[in-house]
C-alpha cells in the first residue's frame, strides 16, 4: 500500500479516503448516479 500511495503521490491513507469522498467532487449527484448504475449492472452479471 505504501508503494501505491507513493506512486500516486498520496501522503496518507486519510488523504486517499478524502479524495474518494463524495464531498470532494464537484458534482455529487453524478457520483451517486454512477454508483447506482454500477450497482444495477452488477445484477445483470
CB 13 within 8 A of CB 5: yes
CB 1 within 8 A of CB 16: no
Q: Is the pTM of this model over 0.85?
A: no
What does the block give as the cell for 39? 450497482
Q: How many domains does the chain have?
A: 1
Domain containing 21 equals 2-44
The SS3 assignment for 41 reads helix
DSSP run (H or E) holding 3: helix 2-7
pLDDT at 45: 57
CB 2 within 8 A of CB 8: no
pLDDT at 23: 75
pLDDT at 16: 86
Counting as low any pLDDT under 70, the low residues of the chain are 44-45
Amino acid at each position: 500500500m505504501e508503494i501505491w500511495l507513493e506512486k500516486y503521490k498520496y501522503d496518507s491513507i486519510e488523504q486517499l479516503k478524502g479524495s474518494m469522498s463524495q464531498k470532494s467532487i464537484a458534482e455529487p449527484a453524478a457520483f451517486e448516479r454512477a454508483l447506482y448504475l454500477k450497482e444495477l449492472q452488477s445484477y445483470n452479471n
